[in-house]
Amino acid sequence: MQSNQHYHLDFLKSAFSYDNPYYSVAEVKKWIATQNRKVEVNIRKIPFSALNDWDFYDDHLALRHESGKFFSIDGIRVNTNWGSRQEWEQPIINQPEVGLLGFITREINGILHFLMQAKIEPGNVNFVQLSPTLQATKSNYSRVHRGKTPAFLEYFINASPDQVLVDQLQSEQGARFLKKRNRNIIIKIQDEIEVPDNFIWLTLAQVKALMREDNLVNMDTRTVIAGIPFGEYEPEVTGFFNFLNRNREVDSIPARMLQSLLTSQNALHSFDGILQFVTRLKTQYELKVEKLPLNQLDGWQIGEAEIYHRERKFFRIIAVEVLIGNREVQSWTQPMIEPAQEGLCVFIAKEINGLLHFAVQAKLECGNFDIIEFAPTVQCLTGNYRNEKSMKTLPFLDYVLTVQPEQVIYDTLQSEEGGRFYREQNRNMIILAGDEISQKLPSNYIWMTLHQLQTFIKFNNYINIQARSLLSAINFN
């Protein structure tokens, strides 16, 4: 498959390099602001009855497009023996098609650059965010919407195996999507190509620097970036690593992150041991999901312009009309999900056996493809976490909300996918803990090195999208 034998090192170098002949990070920020000013965006909430081609079909079994394509909002009843709430009903996004999230990369001055798109999504807090080169649903690229073909699609369709650096199936939010997966793909091209003015070449280090800002790098970029393999202590990588460490403090946080990324030697648990841990949980816990009509969901109400929980919790389904300047279709209507409040996703890391480990939560969510996925240490998305009950019952939440600022090594607001979620942003944090966090974890948590997390990412449906979003932001320089 891989004629490009050095792709691990190529990725690693790009993660260290700001050597971009066109744009510095500061200039990219200005460029995004310019892109934002250049387009006209108008998003307006409308009643369901004003949706074009969308309706409550089959006696409210689903809110869907008349073509049967795109996605639908279904109702489900969930039964499980996981957690304290073992039976509930809710709306969920059903989108069985595998979407494509793809980057074109190219070496510029010997450093791999990623072709980013300044893409407008209706739900984005900042309308324009940096997205992958191509971001397309199957409906999208098979042109159900009768718009023009997305730019650069043919590069991915025609890519030869030796151009492909990464090709993975990755899950979306398990509490909102029913078993949804996307294809995350990175290809490398040799020749220079012409690039429209809403596209930009960036190094991986630059992308990671932009993730330190609120809502500039979209979720689709973050999930693809998270899947990049950097290899292990191979001879060529070790040489590079030693070179780096001669030029910086070896006990700096980025250096320790890189060490945790490249080896699992002295890891607390063996890889087989972690697989045993997740097998045990997958056999112990059951997840049963049945479809129900939307107007029969316990606790949920269909209004004229929203499907909402009676206690105004979790999220609501709304309908919007979108008017956008530089998208392939200029105007359309669609349902979206609007969260009831801001969420919180946190990884707690800690040095164990001289190696940084992350406290990983095994979590059952109703839309999971395979019952359990690995999630961040703290993940609060569907309920208001700022209340006394959550503080008392959710492991580590109290610690996270009262942690010393100097222990917080990453803290930004990041958006969920703006094509489905209306202005949903979640606080993303990474905390470097000391002795105040015990090595002993609650029963569904386990310590892993970055190297182990990165290995699991290669396989389908092990690491959830919130965990991947956090991992994508970790930088090594």
Q: Is 61 in the site for a copy of itself (CB under 8 A)?
A: no
Q: Is 83 in the site for a copy of itself (CB under 8 A)?
A: no
Alpha carbons 62 and 91: distance in angstroms, whole number: 9
Q: Is 58 in the site for a copy of itself (CB under 8 A)?
A: no
- Of residues 327 and 468, the one with the C-beta less far from a copy of itself: 468
Q: Is 153 helix (H, G, I), strand (E, B) or coil?
A: helix
Alpha carbons 212 and 474: distance in angstroms, whole number: 10
Residue 259 is given by DSSP the state H
Alpha carbons 306 and 129: distance in angstroms, whole number: 27
Q: Is 129 helix (H, G, I), strand (E, B) or coil?
A: strand
* Among the listed residues 157, 193, 275, 329, the single contact to a copy of itself using CB under 8 A: 275
Residues 163-202 that bind a copy of itself (CB under 8 A): 164, 166-169, 183
- Nearest approach in angstroms of CB 430 to a copy of itself is 25
Q: Is 49 in the site for a copy of itself (CB under 8 A)?
A: no
- Nearest approach in angstroms of CB 462 to a copy of itself is 8
Q: Is 458 helix (H, G, I), strand (E, B) or coil?
A: coil
Separation in Å, CA 125 to CA 279, 374, 422: 39, 27, 8
Q: Largest Cα–Cα distance of the chain, in whole Å?
A: 68
Q: Is 104 helix (H, G, I), strand (E, B) or coil?
A: strand
- Of residues 145 and 282, the one with the C-beta less far from a copy of itself: 282
Region of 40-48, 54-62, 346-354, 457-465 interacting with a copy of itself (CB under 8 A):
457-465
Q: Are 469 and 227 in contact (CB under 8 A)?
A: no
Q: Is 270 in the site for a copy of itself (CB under 8 A)?
A: yes
- Nearest approach in angstroms of CB 275 to a copy of itself is 6
Alpha carbons 11 and 205: distance in angstroms, whole number: 10
Q: How many CA atoms lie within 13 A of 249 on its CB side?
A: 4
- Nearest approach in angstroms of CB 148 to a copy of itself is 23
Separation in Å, CA 152 to CA 32, 149, 189, 205: 20, 9, 12, 23
Amino acid at site 339: P
Region of 192-200, 263-271, 375-383, 384-392 interacting with a copy of itself (CB under 8 A):
263-271
- Of residues 30 and 280, the one with the C-beta less far from a copy of itself: 280
- Of residues 82 and 277, the one with the C-beta less far from a copy of itself: 277
Alpha carbons 112 and 16: distance in angstroms, whole number: 11
Q: Is 296 in the site for a copy of itself (CB under 8 A)?
A: no
Q: How many residues bind a copy of itself (CB under 8 A)?
A: 30
* β-sheet bridge partners, residue 309: 300
- Of residues 159 and 297, the one with the C-beta less far from a copy of itself: 159
Q: Which two tokens stand for residue 451?
A: 């190297």
Binding mask 346-385 for a copy of itself (x = CB under 8 A): -----------------------xx---------------
* Among the listed residues 21, 110, 161, 405, the single contact to a copy of itself using CB under 8 A: 161
Q: Is 101 in the site for a copy of itself (CB under 8 A)?
A: no
Total residues found in the chain within this entry:
477
For a copy of itself, the binding residues (CB under 8 A) are 1-2, 98, 100, 161, 164, 166-169, 183, 229, 269-277, 279-280, 282-283, 369-370, 458-460
